[in-house]
Chains A and B, each alone.
Chain A
Amino acid sequence: MSTPQLDEPWALAPSVALRPEPFGALAYHFGNRKLIFLKRPELVAVVRGLSCADDVRSALVGAGVPEASWPSYLAALEGLAESDMLRRREVRAA
């Protein structure tokens, strides 16, 4: 199990769906049936932005997350990766 790093490309796993909620979103994994609460709209924006960002860093920047908060966001992403909600993407050929 790898941990998302700032300079790596990541994405939502294919069998995961996000459902918007007042507090952020619910992430549901149809494979392992895990349900995880994304408790901040900013985290939802980061997660949604991952698949079209070059790497985690640009997803964080894209969602307007201040650099000082990156460690806590990385920890949240790590939790999601542990439940297979996020997967490391193959780098696209340039």
Chain B
Amino acid sequence: MKLVEHFEHGLDAPICLTWELTYACNLECAHCLSSSGRRDPRELTTEQCEAVIDELQRMQVFYVNIGGGEPTIRPDFWHLLEYAVAHQVGVKFSTNGVRITPERAAFLASTDYVDVQISLDGATAEVNDHVRGPGSFDTALLALRNLRDAGFRDAKISVVCTRHNIGQLDEFQAIADEYAATLRLTRLRPSGRGADVWDELHPLPEQQRELYDWLLAHGDGVLTGDSFFHLAAFGPADGSGALPGLNLCGAGRVVCLIDPVGDVYACPFAIHDQFHAGNLLADGGFKRVWQTSPLFAELRSPQTGGACTKCSHYDACRGGCMAAKFFTGLPLDGPDPECVQGHSELALAGVRTVPAASQDHSKPAPTRNQPVMLQLMTRPLSRPPVGDCAESPLAGFTP
């Protein structure tokens, strides 16, 4: 059996586990995958988090990607970080940089097994702050400077690729070089609040090509996770155009998410009842959920490619991202909404029902950190939404 087939059958423990520690956040990014903003009062306590780490250690989950929300906002964040590292669970945490002071940077530089990932969605303040909110570019760059000056090695700069920043890839690389950091490029998925802005932010077809060509030329020094395997279909049908990275959807097989209240989902981009595998408090711990959840068993059983099976690129592209299909209302066994062979265009243009979000932690009223694009987009509630995915057949119809 090839390794990728083993992955499809699932591993005894995940290799890419994300743990969102809190839904609280100082920012309100327009495309937040977890619709974060407010803390959930049922958030796991410090002791419960320690128990999760103990279990990850027993399962030999060697490292965990910690995110949120803004994880550093939790008062016990630094304690949990040290606790994890002391228990052989390495930590890579994502932050907007708000708490990376010179003192914290010095502490981070003194630890082993900790990776820091600063989110930056534009190589200029104009592009970044448009989606992440005013001041967020400066915050991120200050954090990067503090890390560099403290001697922290190889921070990661994590970029969600959008219509507005695909043209800035070289500039992002220049920022990474300036701060001795590594660039990490990820895909904008229509998850969380990302569903609201996906239509206007996801890269245009020619930009997908630009991104693919850039990754072919520079991909070796750039991290992408499982973001872009659907772009492999730009290459020859023999799959030789595949990019470095995980080339399959690992949801529930090698990838998984623990949310702030202990709910376990198949993937960080799939926070929805349909991909909820269980709760580690209610269902006997994480290991039990990972190994016995019926949802995960289903995801690990042989999948059919649906309309994609006829496509000569299926072996490389595998139909793309499950979450992207789900949240755009496309069938899970068909082409990705950003299928580079254009096979989803008809389906996207036709009648489809976009699933309603099953949770939202957004702040009820805008704050001064809210990105401008959201303010622009706010529409009067008296009228139904109008757009490619208008849910009401009467949308936009004024008698």
State the A residues within 8 Å of B (CB): 17, 19-23, 26, 28, 30-31, 33, 35, 37, 39
B63 within 8 A of A: yes
Given known pairs A30-B88, A30-B90, A33-B90, the reply for A22 and B60 (CB within 8 Å) is no
Contacts of B9 in A (CB 8 A): 22
A28 to B15 Cα, complex, angstroms = 10
Cβ proximity bits B45-75 to A, threshold 8 Å, 1 near / 0 not = 0000000000000001011000000000000
Across the interface, do B13 and A19 meet the contact criterion of CB distance under 8 Å? yes
A94 to B100 Cα, complex, angstroms = 53
A26 to B15 Cα, complex, angstroms = 9
Given known pairs A22-B6, A23-B1, A35-B62, the reply for A17 and B88 (CB within 8 Å) is yes
Across the interface, do A19 and B12 meet the contact criterion of CB distance under 8 Å? yes
B129 within 8 A of A: no
A33 to B92 Cα, complex, angstroms = 11
A21 to B60 Cα, complex, angstroms = 11
Across the interface, do A28 and B62 meet the contact criterion of CB distance under 8 Å? yes
Across the interface, do B3 and A23 meet the contact criterion of CB distance under 8 Å? yes
Across the interface, do A37 and B3 meet the contact criterion of CB distance under 8 Å? yes
Across the interface, do B115 and A21 meet the contact criterion of CB distance under 8 Å? no
Contact of A19 (CB < 8 Å), options: B3, B60, B112: B60
Contacts of A37 in B (CB 8 A): 3
Give the shortest distance, in Å, between A29 (CB) and chain B (any CB): 9
Across the interface, do B12 and A30 meet the contact criterion of CB distance under 8 Å? no
- For B12, B62, B113, the residue with the greatest tally of chain A CB atoms inside 10 Å of its CB is B62
Contact of B15 (CB < 8 Å), options: A22, A31, A35, A39: A35
Contacts of A31 in B (CB 8 A): 112
Across the interface, do A30 and B112 meet the contact criterion of CB distance under 8 Å? yes
Give the shortest distance, in Å, between B254 (CB) and chain A (any CB): 10
Across the interface, do B63 and A33 meet the contact criterion of CB distance under 8 Å? yes
Across the interface, do A22 and B88 meet the contact criterion of CB distance under 8 Å? no
Contacts of A28 in B (CB 8 A): 60, 62-63
CB closest residue in chain B, given A31: B112
Contacts of B115 in A (CB 8 A): 33
Nearest first, the 3 A-B pairs at minimum CB distance are A28-B62, A19-B60, A23-B6
Give the shortest distance, in Å, between A63 (CB) and chain B (any CB): 20
Contacts of B88 in A (CB 8 A): 17, 30
A67 to B9 Cα, complex, angstroms = 32
List 19 other contacts, CB 8 Å, given A20-B12, A22-B12, A31-B112: A17-B60, A19-B12, A19-B62, A21-B6, A21-B12, A22-B6, A22-B9, A23-B3, A23-B6, A26-B11, A26-B15, A26-B62, A28-B60, A28-B62, A28-B63, A30-B112, A30-B113, A33-B63, A35-B15
A28 to B13 Cα, complex, angstroms = 13
Contact of A17 (CB < 8 Å), options: B1, B11, B15, B62: B62
A33 to B225 Cα, complex, angstroms = 14
Give the shortest distance, in Å, between B27 (CB) and chain A (any CB): 28
Chain B 2-33 residues near chain A, CB threshold 8 A:
3, 6, 9, 11-13, 15
CB closest residue in chain A, given B60: A19
Contacts of B90 in A (CB 8 A): 30, 33
Contacts of B62 in A (CB 8 A): 17, 19, 26, 28, 30, 35
Give the shortest distance, in Å, between B139 (CB) and chain A (any CB): 26
Contacts of B12 in A (CB 8 A): 19-22
CB closest residue in chain A, given B115: A33
Contacts of B63 in A (CB 8 A): 28, 33
Contacts of A22 in B (CB 8 A): 6, 9, 11-12
Across the interface, do B112 and A21 meet the contact criterion of CB distance under 8 Å? no
A–B complex contacts, Cβ < 8 Å, 8 sampled? A17-B60, A19-B13, A19-B62, A30-B90, A33-B90, A33-B115, A35-B62, A37-B3
CB closest residue in chain A, given B13: A19
CB closest residue in chain B, given A29: B62
A75 to B3 Cα, complex, angstroms = 18
Contacts of B113 in A (CB 8 A): 30
A23 to B8 Cα, complex, angstroms = 12
A21 to B12 Cα, complex, angstroms = 6
A39 to B12 Cα, complex, angstroms = 15
Give the shortest distance, in Å, between A25 (CB) and chain B (any CB): 10
Contacts of B13 in A (CB 8 A): 19
Contacts of A39 in B (CB 8 A): 3
